[in-house]
A and B are shown apart, each in its own frame.
Chain A
């Protein structure tokens, strides 16, 4: 039994030959924190996780777990448990044997082992299936076995590599809630890799967003959502994502084709993208909003209505209540609170503040 430990990643790099997969990755994770590494596929998030696990070597940099430098330490001495995307259940062992494998390796006395297996299985509601083989279980049950195997040893760190991506949508929602509950009960430091921003938003204490092996932004889900650091984060978070309108800033005013919005305190710049969230705007009568556009499509999602417009080359999406209706090709206005708008330099993608 060990208590949760903090993790400190300092300028970690990974090279595969000439390919630079992870670039100066630094992160401080508190003991007991739930951190989500979020990014599109190929962004280096899984590589980073595997480096923390010790399954990939660290080309350059330092990794500390607790106050111990584990950069060169073998995986089995790092006191971590990992849940793989494929679950990695041993197909020839029963559920009980699978859950008990870490204990068996640690040479736990049989009586104690049995009690711990039972406790872990009860926690994931699998105690009635201990004699089954993984091949006889459903996807959700296999997922639970993998979780039970990870918690049975009470590691100081949990690593999870897209553990929910093989489940169907409904089950994923349930498992998400259970996972969050379990993590807060056990209080074990957790690093969770996903490409699904909903999972990231709902589970994380803090989210680290990555792209091309570089950390883009680190913050609470609320921070990265409402205060994105750059164009990539702004476009990645949110579903539907943030709307962008092209233009320039001059004398504290952002102006593009058919749109002019105050941008107080910002220096003059050309090639600027203004971003605003679909839920921060409303469809109004033509001429009464900040900009005018033609309705392109109109989608009912049940709890709300998404209206997509064409504005210049960019689509602009507006979230409206579910009783809202509008015909296609209608010319309407779009209004939004200018205080919620963010401005980005097109060339570098950086936020203008």
Chain B
């Protein structure tokens, strides 16, 4: 057998060591240029956080100790003078984002798993009764002031009666695809459309400006994304594996724990990160639902843009820096699962 040393073609991949110096220089300059382009905003953010208001306004200065003298003025502002506000917002953001992410990933992945493994066939007419009765109950309780529990009991009774009596006559059934589309379609609506109704809802149950209200809102808003992503992911796990485990004597819970969960780790990591970032950055709902106690970091940052003291670039930079840290940390922790996930499909066989 002869070994050929033929040169790879112009566009074929080759090792960096095998490249000609000119190609190397070109490659590295492009890479370094792009890195600078990406890293520069963060760099600017960091140096701005160490500037005094005066240096910012006289600016632009780029190099600390040369162009300007760094100062901890902005950091002191946030962490000493306004420490209570800063730490409350930070704490709120962490509690809300982590809880909302955990809730939506937990509920959403279970929904996705059942959608990918169980054939559902709900009767269309039964869903219609349900909606009609729900609206009827709402109107009866809200507008005509009928007794809550009595109305609910009547509606439940009516629902089962109707479902049994008429359910067999109309047998148009929905499938898993319809259910999935319905769930995903909830995300098609722009959040701005529902923000006022959500505000009114939480107002009427006196839950405005609470953590729970924001957590529930975020979890519900992110649920369609979780279901959608995880449905695809669970579908890519061959059913043979679960059937084999069943035949080997495993219970359903054991099958899920031993087979499905380890195999879906990459999908869960990617979904968690995505949902986490959405919840962490969310502004609109937080703006409406929270007023002071449950305020999150994005609201705090935005407030620095609109105060009577003008735009506070320096403190804003500090707030943004501390806001980036948890997301970066999470990304580093989850990264090994995600990059592994990208490779799984690439391995032949």
Contact among A55, A74, A81, A91 for B248, CB-based, below 8 A: A81
Cβ of A101 under 8 Å from chain B: yes
Which chain A residue lies CB-closest to B245? A101
Contact B249 A76 (CB under 8 A): yes
B241 CB, nearest partner CB in chain A, Å? 5
Q: 3 closest pairs, A vs B, by CB?
A: A88-B240, A88-B244, A102-B248
User: Which residues in window 80-105 of A have CB below 8 A to B?
Assistant: 80-82, 84, 86, 88, 90-92, 101-102, 105
Cβ of B250 under 8 Å from chain A: yes
Cβ of A5 under 8 Å from chain B: no
Which chain B residue lies CB-closest to A77? B249
Take A76-B246, A102-B248 as given contacts and tell me if A135 and B349 are in contact as well, using a CB distance cutoff of 8 Å: yes
Contact A55 B246 (CB under 8 A): yes
Encoded as 1 (CB less than 8 Å from any A CB) or 0, chain B from 246 to 285 comes to 1111110010001100110000000000000000000000
Contact B247 A82 (CB under 8 A): yes
Cβ of A149 under 8 Å from chain B: yes
B252 CB, nearest partner CB in chain A, Å? 10
Tell me the bound Cα distance from A66 to B214 in angstroms.
Answer: 60
Q: Given contacts A90-B259, A102-B248, could you give 6 more A-B pairs where the C-beta distance is less than 8 Å?
A: A82-B243, A88-B244, A101-B250, A105-B249, A106-B249, A139-B349
Which chain A residue lies CB-closest to B240? A88
Contact among B243, B247, B259, B347 for A81, CB-based, below 8 A: B247
Take A135-B347, A135-B349 as given contacts and tell me if A88 and B243 are in contact as well, using a CB distance cutoff of 8 Å: yes
A166 CB, nearest partner CB in chain B, Å? 10
Contact A92 B246 (CB under 8 A): no
Cβ of A118 under 8 Å from chain B: no
Which residues of the partner chain B approach A55 to less than 8 Å between Cβ atoms?
Answer: 243, 246-247
List chain B positions with a Cβ less than 8 A from chain A. 238, 240-241, 243-251, 254, 258-259, 262-263, 347, 349
Contact among A74, A84, A139 for B240, CB-based, below 8 A: A84
Contact A105 B248 (CB under 8 A): yes
Which residues of the partner chain A approach B243 to less than 8 Å between Cβ atoms?
Answer: 53, 55, 75, 82, 84, 88
Which residues of the partner chain B approach A101 to less than 8 Å between Cβ atoms?
Answer: 245, 248, 250, 258
Which residues of the partner chain A approach B250 to less than 8 Å between Cβ atoms?
Answer: 76, 101, 105
Which residues of the partner chain B approach A153 to less than 8 Å between Cβ atoms?
Answer: 248
Which residues of the partner chain B approach A106 to less than 8 Å between Cβ atoms?
Answer: 249
Contact B263 A102 (CB under 8 A): no
Contact among B240, B249, B262 for A102, CB-based, below 8 A: B249
Contact A105 B262 (CB under 8 A): no
B236 CB, nearest partner CB in chain A, Å? 12
Contact B244 A82 (CB under 8 A): yes
Tell me the bound Cα distance from A102 to B250 in angstroms.
Answer: 8
B310 CB, nearest partner CB in chain A, Å? 56
Which residues of the partner chain A approach B248 to less than 8 Å between Cβ atoms?
Answer: 76, 81, 101-102, 105, 149, 153
A85 CB, nearest partner CB in chain B, Å? 8
User: Which residues in window 104-163 of A have CB below 8 A to B?
Assistant: 105-106, 135, 139, 149, 153
Which residues of the partner chain B approach A75 to less than 8 Å between Cβ atoms?
Answer: 243, 246-247
Contact B254 A105 (CB under 8 A): yes
Which chain B residue lies CB-closest to A78? B247
A75 CB, nearest partner CB in chain B, Å? 5
Take A88-B241, A105-B254, A135-B347 as given contacts and tell me if A53 and B262 are in contact as well, using a CB distance cutoff of 8 Å: no
Contact B238 A88 (CB under 8 A): yes
Which chain B residue lies CB-closest to A86? B240
Which chain B residue lies CB-closest to A97? B258
Contact among B247, B251, B262 for A92, CB-based, below 8 A: B262
Which chain A residue lies CB-closest to B241? A88
B265 CB, nearest partner CB in chain A, Å? 9
Tell me the bound Cα distance from A90 to B260 in angstroms.
Answer: 10
A149 CB, nearest partner CB in chain B, Å? 7
Contact A76 B247 (CB under 8 A): yes
Tell me the bound Cα distance from A54 to B247 in angstroms.
Answer: 8
B199 CB, nearest partner CB in chain A, Å? 46
What are 27 A-to-B residue pairs whose CB atoms are below 8 Å?
Answer: A53-B243, A54-B247, A55-B243, A55-B246, A75-B243, A76-B246, A76-B249, A81-B248, A84-B240, A84-B244, A86-B238, A88-B241, A88-B243, A88-B244, A90-B241, A91-B263, A92-B263, A101-B245, A101-B248, A101-B258, A102-B249, A105-B248, A105-B249, A105-B250, A106-B249, A135-B347, A135-B349
A154 CB, nearest partner CB in chain B, Å? 13
A81 CB, nearest partner CB in chain B, Å? 7
Which residues of the partner chain A approach B241 to less than 8 Å between Cβ atoms?
Answer: 88, 90
With most chain A CB atoms within 10 A of its CB, the pick from B244, B250, B262, B347 is: B244
B303 CB, nearest partner CB in chain A, Å? 47
Which residues of the partner chain B approach A91 to less than 8 Å between Cβ atoms?
Answer: 263
